[in-house]
Amino acid sequence: ASVIALELLNSGYEFDEGSIIFNRFRSVISYKTEEKPIFSLNTIASSESMSIYDDIDADVLQNYQEYSLANIIYYSLKESTTSEQSARMTAMDNASKNASEMIDKLTLTFNRTRQAVITK
């Protein structure tokens, strides 16, 4: 996540505000699409909550932005991966149940056909 954050910040792409959209894991059968905001260095510096600190230099703001972005990217990757795994697990469980039902139906059909041939 930190490599992605550094590449994004060093890409030269200028932005004031953006967002990362990902699937947030809720349960094995449920996930929710969520959006987390990401901010530029200028937006962070001009934020009202930053004005409570007396002196913040550019290095501190740069480190905060890098850490914050890496944190958000890591969180979104973790949540998306968990949601994907739960969706795969649910799909495989359903496929296994459907295959078992098909095998049972085919076995029943085969046994009925065999019995019909025997009793003829």
For the stretch 58-102, pLDDT in tens is: 788 888 888 888 999 999 999 999 999 998 999 999 999 999 999
The pLDDT, as a whole number, for residue 51 is 66
Q: Which residues neighbour 74 within 8 Å (Cβ) at sequence distance 6 or greater?
A: 1, 2
Q: Which residues neighbour 66 within 8 Å (Cβ) at sequence distance 6 or greater?
A: 2, 5, 6, 9
β-pair partners for 32: 24
Percent of the chain, pLDDT > 70?
96
Domain boundaries, the chain: 2-94
The pLDDT, as a whole number, for residue 40 is 81
CATH fold of 2-94 reads: Pyruvate Kinase; Chain: A, domain 1 (3.40.1380)
**CA separation for the pair 1, 9 (Å, rounded):** 12
Q: Which residues neighbour 22 within 8 Å (Cβ) at sequence distance 6 or greater?
A: 33, 34, 36, 76, 77, 79, 80
| Residues 83, 25 contacting (CB under 8 angstroms) | yes
Question: Has residue 22 got a pLDDT over 70?
Answer: yes
| Residues 29, 90 contacting (CB under 8 angstroms) | yes
